[in-house]
Amino acid sequence: MRMVDIIQAKKDGLALGREEIRFFTEGIVSGAVPDYQAAALLMAICFQGMNREETLELTMAMVDSGDKTDLSAIPGVKVDKHSTGGVGDKTTLVLAPLVAACGVPVAKMSGRGLGHTGGTIDKLESIPGFSTDLSMTRFLDCVNRFGLAVAGQTGHMVPADKKLYALRDVTATIGNISLIAASIMSKKLAAGADAIVLDVKTGSGAFMQTQQEAEALARTMVDIGNGAGRRTVAVLTDMDQPLGLAIGNALEVREALEVLRGGGPADVREICLVLGGTMLELAGKGNAAQCRELAVRALDSGEALQKFRDMVQAQGGDPAVADDPGILPQAPFVEPYRAIAGGIIHDIVSDQLGMASMVLGAGRPTKEDAIDPAAGIVLVRKPGDTVVEGEVLAMLHTSETGKIAAASSLLDEAIRIGSGAHEFVPLILQIIR
């Protein structure tokens, strides 16, 4: 088999078979296929697309390119959750203990973040002492003893994705639904869960900016998951405005703790009830209404908060954080951001708000940058609120006062104040089964 023939076939609009796809993925990991040929095939895929069978085959070939997590030592149905990423998305911090409190084991592998804020791992590591660097034995032991564990992704999972993602990033071939779906789902399948709930976000702060694109991605990923024998459901959610009020690592942990105490912002609580309820449904805990009720009870009874305490203790952190978020890192400078005009807040553009939080230190512009766990933004006002000029709209948290001016000018753009009514978009747009 020759790579040039595979490229030619895809360029001519033909469907690739199992052997051709595996020749490609094995070749990029071993180095037998050079980057220029891999990039040429990626570009041909962008122009000609991949059908359902090819997309599933590519995903499975990527899964087989590296190690897979074996969760069979944990009894019961293991349900994973994935979010396509959004500004202020702290749902995993709530969902892991919520689902565990309902008797469903959670063995979660998570990543670090690039861009606006950290990922779940960065957020959890803002808790003093908390370690996400667990051996497989300790990871499985924590899940079996306490019902949950969240660990950083280890070594050699899906090396084909690492290679391909880096190439796609520099060859303008990121934006193809099959390539995105295969990239996300290969990592989820390799992580070993029996069922998967996908939170696919759409809007200004999301990877897929239109609802149509988000739905196409969601359907493709649901197809892959089910095709691979894992029950998969996608929930399409709005990311036109940030989720909750807090953006930044320790600030988001604090907000997640409010939700785990039965309070917190209504949008964060609602999305956690929908995603958590769907995870419980996939684990066989009942129908949609029964599972939502279980999720409500886990939050309002304090059982989910207790699971959070257990997880923090088991992973070396200070469990007192659950009752005293004051022990989280705090920024030395907390400055108000004030409205530049009066009127109604029409929009808080999520990606611009995310940029402002990154400027304050909450995110990492490149993989090598360090995160300031205490930095970020806490909104005081949300879209639809009427405000007067000079009123405080947000609090900016940072370790360097020099960063406040740049973040404030990004907020001048991000927070749009006008005179007409704000148009509300529902948070939960669609559930794809």
List residues binding ligand URA (CB under 6 A).
165, 180, 183-184, 207
How far apart (Å, rounded) are the C-alpha atoms in residues 284 and 87? 31
* CB nearer ligand URA, residue 178 or residue 408: 178
* CB nearer ligand URA, residue 123 or residue 292: 123
* CB nearer ligand URA, residue 143 or residue 180: 180
Catalytic annotation present for 183: yes
Cα angle 279-282-287, degrees, rounded to a multiple of 5 = 95
Per the CB < 8 A criterion, the answer to whether 45 and 173 are in contact is: yes
Residue 336 backbone phi and psi in degrees, to 5: -75, 145
Catalytic annotation present for 408: no
Which residue out of 81, 108, 116, 187 is catalytically annotated? 187
Which residue out of 122, 161, 199, 240 is catalytically annotated? 161
Catalytic annotation present for 116: no
Terminal C-alpha separation, the chain: 38
Neighbours of 56 (CB within 10 A): 23
Residue type, 118: G
CB of 207 to ligand URA, least distance (A): 6
Q: Find, among 116, 135, 104, the residue nearest to 281 by Cα.
A: 104
CB pairs under 8 A, 24+ apart, for 166-172? 167/35, 167/38, 167/39, 167/42, 168/42, 171/39, 171/42, 171/43
CB of 169 to ligand URA, least distance (A): 9
Kindly give, in sequence order, each residue whose CB lies less than 8 Å from that of residue 427, ignoring residues fewer than 6 positions away.
Answer: 237, 238, 267, 270, 271
Which residue out of 65, 110, 126, 183 is catalytically annotated? 183
Which residue out of 22, 81, 123, 168 is catalytically annotated? 168
CB of 269 to ligand URA, least distance (A): 26
CB of 123 to ligand URA, least distance (A): 18
CB of 188 to ligand URA, least distance (A): 9
CB of 433 to ligand URA, least distance (A): 22
Which residue out of 78, 81, 82, 307 is catalytically annotated? 82
Per the CB < 8 A criterion, the answer to whether 360 and 376 are in contact is: yes
* CB nearer ligand URA, residue 178 or residue 249: 178
Per the CB < 8 A criterion, the answer to whether 326 and 318 are in contact is: no
Per the CB < 8 A criterion, the answer to whether 213 and 202 are in contact is: yes
CB of 416 to ligand URA, least distance (A): 27
Catalytic annotation present for 187: yes
Catalytic annotation present for 161: yes
Kindly give, in sequence order, each residue whose CB lies less than 8 Å from that of residue 76, ignoring residues fewer than 6 positions away.
Answer: 103, 104, 105, 283
Structure tokens at 6: 């595979």
Distance (Å) of CA 323 to CA 9, 288, 318, 367: 60, 31, 10, 33
* CB nearer ligand URA, residue 106 or residue 198: 198
How far apart (Å, rounded) are the C-alpha atoms in residues 181 and 170? 19
* CB nearer ligand URA, residue 100 or residue 180: 180
Compute CA 269 distance to the chain's CA centroid, rounded to the nearest angstrom: 16
* CB nearer ligand URA, residue 188 or residue 230: 188
Q: What share of the chain is helix, strand, coil (3-state, %, to 5)?
A: 45, 15, 35
CB of 184 to ligand URA, least distance (A): 5
* CB nearer ligand URA, residue 165 or residue 333: 165
Active site residues: 82, 161, 168, 183, 187
